[in-house]
Structure 1
Amino acid sequence: MRQKRKYIVLTFATTEAALAVESACAEQGLAGRLIPTPQAISSGCGLAWRVPVEEADPLLAQLARFTIERVAEVEM
């Protein structure tokens, strides 16, 4: 069985916002990946960006210009 790990999950009101974050992270070499929003969190568009907790600070600093609906810590 895989051991669960803590992640920071960012949710978005629109799919466009989620895809913009994915593109910006790829361009800047930032950690994380686009995932379906976990059931424990609600989201307007059903997509979320997941990043390990230890890599979240640089990511959040770079994403200040984007509209993020919610930032949550989730164990997955």
Structure 2
Amino acid sequence: YYPMPRAALPRYLRERQLYDASRIPVLFEGDLYADLSFLPLNIAEGYGLLRRMDPEDRPNSRDIVIYETLPNELS
């Protein structure tokens, strides 16, 4: 069982004793992504100009964008 951090985690924490007493394994983000340094969102082949952009910059259709952090629209 993976309790989604914002939705189900508070309920899991309230009911933790029930999960501990059951045979259902519980996984957290740290368990799933501990050894992961890069998580590609969309694996594809593309062509364009590789650009490092700030969150307030807007890419055009030919940009392959590198962000230091995700803009609010993508997080």
Length-normalised TM-score, structure 2: 0.23
Could you say which structure has the larger radius of gyration?
Answer: 2
Structure with the largest fraction of strand: 1
Length-normalised TM-score, structure 1: 0.23
